[in-house]
Structure 1
Amino acid sequence: MADERRVADHLPQGARRRQLLQAAAAWPLAALLPAAAWSQSPAAAPASRLRPRVRPGDADWPSEARWQQLGQQVGGRLQALASPFAACRAASAAAPIAACEQLFQSLKNPYFISDHAALTQTLGWANAWTSSPSAYAVAARETADVVAAVNFARTHRLRLVVKGGGHSYQGTSNAPDSLLVWMRGMREIAMHEAFVPQGCAGRVAPQRAVSIGAGALWAQAYDAVSTQAGGYVQGGGCMTVGVAGLVNSGGFGSFSRRYGLASASLLEAEVVTADGQVRIANTCTQPELFWGLKGGGGGSLGIVTRLTLRVHPLPETFGAVNFTVKAKSAAAFRQLIGLTLDFCHQALLDAHWGEQIRLRRDHTLQVSMVFQGLTRREAQAVWQPFREALAGQPEDFEVDYGALSVITVAAREFWAPTWAKRMLGFMRQDSRPDAPATNVYWSGDEAQAGQVLHGYESAWLPAALLQADRREALGDALFAATRHWPVSLHLNKGLAGASAEVVDAARDTAMNPAVLDAFALAILGAEGPPAYPGVAGREPDEARARRQAQMIDQAMAELRRVLPAHAAYVAESNYFQADWQQAFWGANYARLRAVKRQYDPEGLFFTHHGVGSEDWSADGFSPRV
């Protein structure tokens, strides 16, 4: 059905060089920063009222000479930005210009977008925000560039924005009249065979790890860690998501029940705080800042420049299960939902399984699951009872298994751009002639590139809802929700059934504790194709967006009836979330606010519904009284 296009899952690096990098490629930052910049505790900041930020045209806006000085300080990497849609707005639907047509074609290539300082992967959210370029951008290549941008923004009271992968649904990667710190150039990756966080010698055992620049995308990380080095790093399912943004937001991958949250794999981070200091945060140094960076949301506590993540052993194979079931009546679909919940409870809540089961309004169930730690034969045996139950009711269910309903692939090649994956349509490549071979993305994620969101909701579903005395009510709620809008159950975005080690590691992050015993994250979303206000023939369909947003609201209202509380995932959530502090972080929010006050007392870092954002106007320019 045309109105049921679902938003796909995502939907972000001293004067003293660290001995820990040892044989890895050197990070050429030390000589550029004074020793004082590497202090280990925040400088005391005098208490002061938050001050309004300035815009172009204001008396306090930096002079051209000041901007030139910043440009010199960052080695010429300061850019004045302009919207690439400006020329399109001057054209008309009857006489579009060729460059405009080419732009909209290119917007379906996520790598084209990520290489453009003035663009974001999502072009906006209807009736909420529109992707708009900053006034200037520092195209950071080293930590010293980030320090210079932070100091300049603080001194001149500028709205500061940080962009890595640029996938933010909330629009946090862009803001007009701001200074952008564009991290795309900081994407170095270095493997370590025996990493010990700084200051932790004798307290933390060495382990295999990888250091990744904050501008890297997950496709590059997987290529370096899995394809090249034969290890596994917990990252995002979507390969064009930024590494830093995903980790700072918590971070789920396809195999989260086995390997845990991406944020729980964080061993150390290099971060520039609001005072312009470069800090090394881990469990031994800056522990509260380190905790806040593990799921507290990107861009609120500082600018992460490098992350070091645990590398796990890579299994021999990964696998996938894909098929669809069409129920022949509404009553049969309700029964199908019940059978699915029974099967989830009996067979899928363990470390082997991840990804999605989708429930659609046309009475279709779509299974798109992945697995690890099982052979193909073992995976087939797990699903056999479900298949037999469906086969026993041919009058109610029509099943399409296809030719590749259960497959396995070598884990080392899972993210590699092999010929087979391209030919079968699983994977696509950056179509630009000079693009690296590693610029790849899953075909199912293509709709995210250049999308305009119409509506979005998420909610963690507690495993208690699968107990015998509550399962029927959950089934009723899911069925009622699908009368309004499709529901996707992301079984990898809940840790019920994970090992005690994985759950304990997640508990030591800033994530909402609701994730610890959730069996799935329910996601309801809608998007339109690339569009931009004022471009003739390419404007967002606002009427359709309002209609779909209302249906999503109605569907989520049905699910809320069985939830003890509404807990949502910050990276995949409603822009208009009213109770966002509680929904995103629960009991952890008070601690996050304390970290914010310690490291950013004047509120330099602002993001929509980020920690401390309640102190500011919606655009982040004016303090609230």
Structure 2
Amino acid sequence: MLASAQAATSGALARVRPGDQGWPSEAQWNELGQQVGNALVKVHSPLMTCLNSPDSDDCKQLFKELKNPYFLGDEAGLTQSLGWVDAWTSMPSVYAVAARNTNDVVAAVNFARRNNVRLVVKGGGHSYQGTSNAPDSLLVWTRKMNDISLHDAFVGEGCEGRASPVRAVTVGAGALWAHVYDAVTTQAGGYVQGGGCMTVGVAGLIQSGGFGNFSKAYGLAAGSLLEAEVVTADGAVRIANACTHPDLFWGLKGGGGGSLGVVTRLTLRVHELPETFGGVNMTIRAASAPAFRRLIGLIVDFYQQKLLNPHWGGQIILRRINVLQIAMVFQGLSRSEAQAVWQPFMDTIARAPDDFKLEFSLLKIVASSARSFWAPTMIKKLLGFISTDDRPGAPKSNVFWTDDQWDAGHVLHGYDSAWLPATLLQDGQRQTLADALFAATRHWAVSLHINKGLAGAPAEAIAAARDTAMNPAVLDAFALLICQAAEPPAYPGIPGHEPDTALSHRDAQAIGHAMDEVRKLVPSAGSYVAESNFFDADWQQSFWGSNYSRLLAVKDRYDPDGLFFVHHGVGSERWSADGFTRVA
């Protein structure tokens, strides 16, 4: 209370907290409740059960549930990540408007603005930066706004006669990609560019820019955005597209979620579905550090020669234990065609049995009908590729990639990323790149997400990405390099389940050393806003580069008083770290 009073007398704007003189009265909250019906809820975190009774059966069951991303997403008081050591801890809002429609969102935005209450927005709840939660706040929770509808010939509002009709899908802001893929691909035989993780929310991904398994073919998810409905800070409902509020439309495409308004509905282009999707999975162990250095050089050469094209996505993972892991996907190729692409590389490995060992893998290269790629078929379940929401009565469409379960409820120790420009793949540069990657692996594992760079993508995908707020570095990058570390679900103050602070500090230090090796090669690489370092001091340049000044102008036009605040979001430099006190 004192901090708020001091800020107010100094002339700085300070938002109110419970206990402050200006905090809304019970009557005012009841009035909001009358406007939104039973959508206004008092938020309680299920973790309070464990804080009060850490050894109880209910607490033990809760920590099992915390590995189910759908359980996390259905709780107003939880987020998909439970925190980041020394950065943030998942904390519930005081109240939430569990919005069912746009009018509910308008009521919540107006209430927060008029009463000077900290506002936070959550859809899927996937934010490594902690941007979808804030204590002492009002939460706009869009999870129930999850309708999905398909269009054979969509034209944006105000674009009649200026744009050709296209196949499209309109989704509510709370929809998850698993459900969108089910509707668009499995049921309707089309393709929409979304996220690789099926439990990520549609709206958050689009506003981050958005990458999926096949972005090297179809570009950014934001590049396929045709129109958005958004509630801005003045409570107005605006349609943003290329013809109406084009500046806001541009900013929503990669400008970061929660900074410019509350997106309530999005319409995305539906692309033609290729005949096949497939995957390549293999693990190669090098016998020594020098052999591993050679192996990195081989995969870098092979990638430049055979994989830098729209067919390929996924990851190339380089581990400290001298192991190369291939976890890649492809589109538009048959299994035999994919095998032919990889055969020269596998022959090279086979010719050096003393240096390299290909570990056993039942399914090195697989392909299937693209239409069934996201379908929870029995064979995918048996092989452990796909897991399902195991709660009684859960919808059959509640599925997720089993490998993504590490994300559910985890606590981050460290995370960082860097775009790697395609110039590093030129003759005379690849050895230097391989040396830097090897040096990084002496400290920590690095993963090359080759679908998260648009070098090698079709010209139309690159052009669509250029017309977004994303850091232009993505246009010329062949991959996004990621270093990260986390632990299973943990929470401060719960005995037996507290984060391992000492291990976290060691992991963070190792990640820092690994990224130092990368940045010796690419000093100003830029970073992806959704997968980045919480502590990045140069975040404006890292996330948006030359686009930041334009983004800030959009922010000033649609949210001049800074109602919308997220950590390292557009305009957040004008506020204290918690978003409660204006500092500039």
* TM category, shorter: over 0.9
Q: Is the 8 A contact 2:313 2:328 kept in 1?
A: yes
CA distance in 1, matches of 2:13, 2:224: 37
1:55 aligned onto 2:17: yes
Deviation at residue 90 of structure 1 after TM alignment = 2.1
Structure 2 counterpart of 1:101:
60
* Amino acid across the alignment from 2:21: A
Mapping of residues 308-347 of structure 1, within 5 Å: 308-347=267-306
CA distance in 2, matches of 1:285, 1:82: 40
1:75 aligned onto 2:34: no
1:453 aligned onto 2:415: no
SS of match in other structure, 2:381: helix
Structure 1 counterpart of 2:204:
245
Q: Is the 8 A contact 1:248 1:294 kept in 2?
A: yes
Deviation at residue 469 of structure 1 after TM alignment = 1.8
CA distance in 2, matches of 1:97, 1:191: 47
Poorly superposed stretches of 4+, deviation over 4 Å:
none
Deviation at residue 163 of structure 1 after TM alignment = 0.2
CA distance in 2, matches of 1:82, 1:209: 38
Structure 1 counterpart of 2:480:
521
Structure 2 counterpart of 1:45:
none
Q: TM-score, normalising length from structure 1?
A: 0.91
Deviation at residue 520 of structure 1 after TM alignment = 0.5
1:601 aligned onto 2:563: no
* Amino acid across the alignment from 1:74: V
Structure 1 counterpart of 2:96:
137
Q: Is the 8 A contact 2:207 2:257 kept in 1?
A: yes
* Amino acid across the alignment from 1:119: L
Q: Is the 8 A contact 1:91 1:536 kept in 2?
A: no
Q: Is the 8 A contact 1:161 1:178 kept in 2?
A: yes
Deviation at residue 375 of structure 1 after TM alignment = 1.0
CA distance in 1, matches of 2:125, 2:28: 28
Mapping of residues 95-494 of structure 1, within 5 Å: 96-400=55-359, 402-494=361-453
Deviation at residue 566 of structure 1 after TM alignment = 2.6
* Amino acid across the alignment from 2:437: L
CA distance in 2, matches of 1:596, 1:50: 19
Q: 1:66 aligns with which of 28, 32, 37?
A: 28
CA distance in 2, matches of 1:605, 1:565: 28
CA distance in 2, matches of 1:565, 1:613: 22
Seq. identity, %? 67
CA distance in 1, matches of 2:341, 2:197: 26
Structure 2 counterpart of 1:591:
550
* Amino acid across the alignment from 1:109: N
SS of match in other structure, 2:532: coil
Higher RCO (CA-CA < 8 Å; seq separation 6+): 1
CA distance in 1, matches of 2:342, 2:52: 56
Kindly tell me the number of residue pairs found equivalent between the two proteins.
574
SS of match in other structure, 2:315: strand
Structure 1 counterpart of 2:48:
86
> Which segments of 5 or more consecutive residues in structure 2 lack a partner in the other structure?
1-10
CA distance in 2, matches of 1:274, 1:176: 20
* Amino acid across the alignment from 1:83: S
SS of match in other structure, 2:38: coil
Higher alpha-carbon deviation: 556-565 or 582-591: 556-565
Q: Is the 8 A contact 1:322 1:401 kept in 2?
A: no
Deviation at residue 87 of structure 1 after TM alignment = 2.5
Structure 2 counterpart of 1:19:
none
CA distance in 1, matches of 2:202, 2:236: 22
CA distance in 2, matches of 1:608, 1:557: 24
CA distance in 1, matches of 2:141, 2:239: 21
Deviation at residue 50 of structure 1 after TM alignment = 6.1
SS of match in other structure, 2:140: strand
1:533 aligned onto 2:492: yes
* Amino acid across the alignment from 2:210: G
* Amino acid across the alignment from 1:214: A
Deviation at residue 81 of structure 1 after TM alignment = 1.0
CA distance in 1, matches of 2:301, 2:276: 27
Structure 2 counterpart of 1:27:
none
Q: TM-score, normalising length from structure 2?
A: 0.98
SS of match in other structure, 1:561: helix
SS of match in other structure, 1:455: strand
* Amino acid across the alignment from 1:614: E
Structure 2 counterpart of 1:5:
none
Deviation at residue 565 of structure 1 after TM alignment = 1.1
Deviations 1:486-527, CA, capped at 9 Å, x for gaps: 000000000001111111110000000000010100000000
CA distance in 1, matches of 2:169, 2:12: 38
* Amino acid across the alignment from 2:449: H
* Amino acid across the alignment from 1:72: Q
Deviation at residue 594 of structure 1 after TM alignment = 0.2
SS of match in other structure, 1:606: coil
Q: 2:454 aligns with which of 483, 491, 495?
A: 495
SS of match in other structure, 2:483: strand
CA distance in 1, matches of 2:102, 2:463: 33
Deviation at residue 245 of structure 1 after TM alignment = 0.2
* Amino acid across the alignment from 2:221: A
Deviation at residue 564 of structure 1 after TM alignment = 4.5
Q: Is the 8 A contact 1:218 1:243 kept in 2?
A: yes
SS of match in other structure, 2:175: coil
Deviation at residue 400 of structure 1 after TM alignment = 2.3
Deviations 1:361-406, CA, capped at 9 Å, x for gaps: 0000000110001111111111111111111111100012522111
* Amino acid across the alignment from 1:616: W
1:558 aligned onto 2:517: yes
Q: Is the 8 A contact 2:473 2:525 kept in 1?
A: no
Deviations 1:512-562, CA, capped at 9 Å, x for gaps: 000001010000000001000000110000000011000000000000000
Deviation at residue 88 of structure 1 after TM alignment = 1.2
Deviation at residue 434 of structure 1 after TM alignment = 0.5
Q: Is the 8 A contact 1:50 1:602 kept in 2?
A: no
CA distance in 1, matches of 2:187, 2:360: 33
* Amino acid across the alignment from 1:259: Y
CA distance in 1, matches of 2:154, 2:369: 27
* Amino acid across the alignment from 1:286: H
CA distance in 2, matches of 1:395, 1:297: 48
> Which segments of 5 or more consecutive residues in structure 1 lack a partner in the other structure?
1-48
Q: Is the 8 A contact 1:50 1:603 kept in 2?
A: no
* Amino acid across the alignment from 1:578: A
* Amino acid across the alignment from 1:108: K
Deviations 1:341-371, CA, capped at 9 Å, x for gaps: 1011101110000000100000000001100
Q: Is the 8 A contact 2:418 2:481 kept in 1?
A: yes
Structure 2 counterpart of 1:30:
none
Q: Is the 8 A contact 1:292 1:509 kept in 2?
A: yes
CA distance in 2, matches of 1:403, 1:89: 44
CA distance in 2, matches of 1:301, 1:444: 33
Q: Is the 8 A contact 1:461 1:521 kept in 2?
A: yes
